[in-house]
């Protein structure tokens, strides 16, 4: 039986407050696991990428993560943790 075990990726949103302005994890991730989406939108106004809370980082493709830890290494806010879970017993 083949069991796929994906890493646990945690984002501390209190530390990662301006991901669209930073984008370091997005740029360094070789498998493009992360995405950034707007949290606040006002009609007719440009959303300020430097204002905390306007954008949020998300793990869109956790199954693609190779646990290389590059995102953790480059995060200036220490907002990311990546851990491989213990193997499930069959």
61: domain CATH number is: 3.30.70.20
The number of domains in the chain is 1
Mean pLDDT for each 10-residue chunk of the chain (90 residues)?
Answer: 83 96 95 94 86 95 94 97 74
Find tokens 């980082």 and name the residue. 57
To which H or E segment does residue 83 belong? strand 80-83
The pTM score is 0.83
Give me the domain span that covers residue 54: 12-40+50-82
- What pLDDT, on the 0 to 100 scale, is given for residue 90? 46
Cβ proximity of 78 and 15 under 8 Å: yes
Residue 7 resides in a domain:
no
Residue 1 resides in a domain:
no
What is the rounded CA–CA span in Å between residue 60 and residue 28? 15
């Amino acid at each position: 039986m083949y069991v796929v075990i994906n890493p646990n990726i945690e984002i501390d949103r209190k530390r990662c407050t301006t991901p669209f302005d930073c984008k370091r994890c997005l740029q360094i991730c070789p498998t493009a696991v992360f995405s950034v989406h707007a949290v606040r939108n006002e009609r007719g106004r440009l959303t300020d990428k430097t204002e905390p809370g306007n954008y949020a980082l998300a793990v869109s493709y956790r199954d693609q993560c190779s646990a290389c830890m590059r995102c953790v290494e480059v995060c200036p806010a220490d907002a990311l943790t990546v851990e491989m879970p213990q193997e499930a017993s069959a």
